[in-house]
Amino acid sequence: MLNFFLRRFAFMLLTLLFTSLIIFTITNLLPGRVARVLLGREASEEALVALEHRLGLDQPAPVRYVNWLTGFARGDWGQLFQQQGREVRPLVMERLTKSLWLAGLALLFSVPLAILLGVVAGLQANKPIDGIISVTSLAVTGLPEFVTGVVLINVIAIQWKLFNLPSSSSISPRATFVQALPSLILPAVTATLVLLAYIVRLTRAGVIEVLKKPYVRTAVLKGLSWREVVFGHILRNALLPTITVVAISFGWLISGLVVIENVFNYPGLGRLMLDAVDSRDLPLMQAISMVTVAIYVFANFVADMLYAYVNPRIRLE
């Protein structure tokens, strides 16, 4: 198990290093001159050159990459281009906290519900209840996030007045999770509907496959109750692929909530990324990208460890 852990950990670090190079390259290849965006069209060439020198943009690309990567590893993520003197790291961590709240609540809604529906559909495969669950979950997931979000806003928030609409002004930087919870419900429900069908289908397929295994028939013939068979034999093996999917979904939620955060005007990391791209704030773009990639890679690492713990054949191979 230790060797498996070390191999996966080294692979994670290598992935982060390679990704950091891609992020730096892409952000520096964006069209337009950063100094021109910051100073405006009327700025003189002397002012542009002076600003680029002050920001370190006139240095060779390899030097800037090494300085940025070593600074990021130390926790020095630079300063905002648009607001000189304001550090990038506190702003990113503040927005990351909000995104973690939303992602965690969405998983809390989606995972138990999807597993329950998937198990029921698998145990009742090719029966009416299976068809209802499969068709409904696919239909709901097939709707774009902005459509689902707008419907929830109009019906639940405006007409029924059940939950608050989140916004950058309604959730203060010092708000606790409990204080922000009323504003988190609608975005979390929207994200839940996006994730639902995939986890349902995967769980259903796992249950159907496990039901065909000899040890399940043996457990039934031994006289075990159906509840003991389901919880003691079927779920333990059928939910193995779901572990990986849940981890990947968590990583996706952190970086993929851009549409939902914009529909609900939610002050998360995805919305901050759009603002950074719009203002060509390179340090902010790079920091957000690295944080989201690190979370995604770490989530996959945790999934690999859990999968190997539950299924020893994985680490032996």
DSSP string over 268-284: SHHHHHHHHHHHT-HHH
Domain with CATH 1.10.3720.10 in the chain: 89-316
Q: Tell me which range, 46-50, 215-219, 311-315, is most confidently predicted by mean pLDDT.
A: 46-50
Residue 264 near residue 149 (C-beta atoms within 8 A): yes
Q: Which two tokens stand for residue 274?
A: 């759009």
- The answer, as to whether pTM is greater than 0.75, is yes
pLDDT above 90 (res 109):
yes
**Is residue 87 helix, strand or coil?**
strand
- Helix axis angle for 282-310 and 240-256, nearest 10°, is 170
* CATH number for the domain formed by residue range(s) 89-316: 1.10.3720.10
Mean pLDDT of 124-148: 89
Q: What are the CA-CA distances from residue 150 to residues 146, 156, 186 (Å)?
A: 6, 10, 10
Interval 194-218 mean pLDDT: 88
pLDDT-derived band of residue 313, with 50, 70 and 90 as boundaries? low
What is the pLDDT averaged over residues 60-81? 91
| Residue 254 token pair | 């952190």
Q: What are phi and psi of 87, to 5 degrees?
A: -75, 145
Distance CA 49, CA 33 (A): 11
| Amino acid 312: pLDDT | 63
Q: Calculate the alpha carbon distances from 48 to 33, 55, 105, 193, 281 in Å.
A: 9, 11, 45, 47, 15
Question: Side-chain half-sphere of 314: how many Cα atoms within 13 Å?
Answer: 17
Percentage of the chain beyond pLDDT 90 is 31
The conformational region for residue 223 under phi > 0 = left, psi -120 to 50 = alpha, else beta, is left
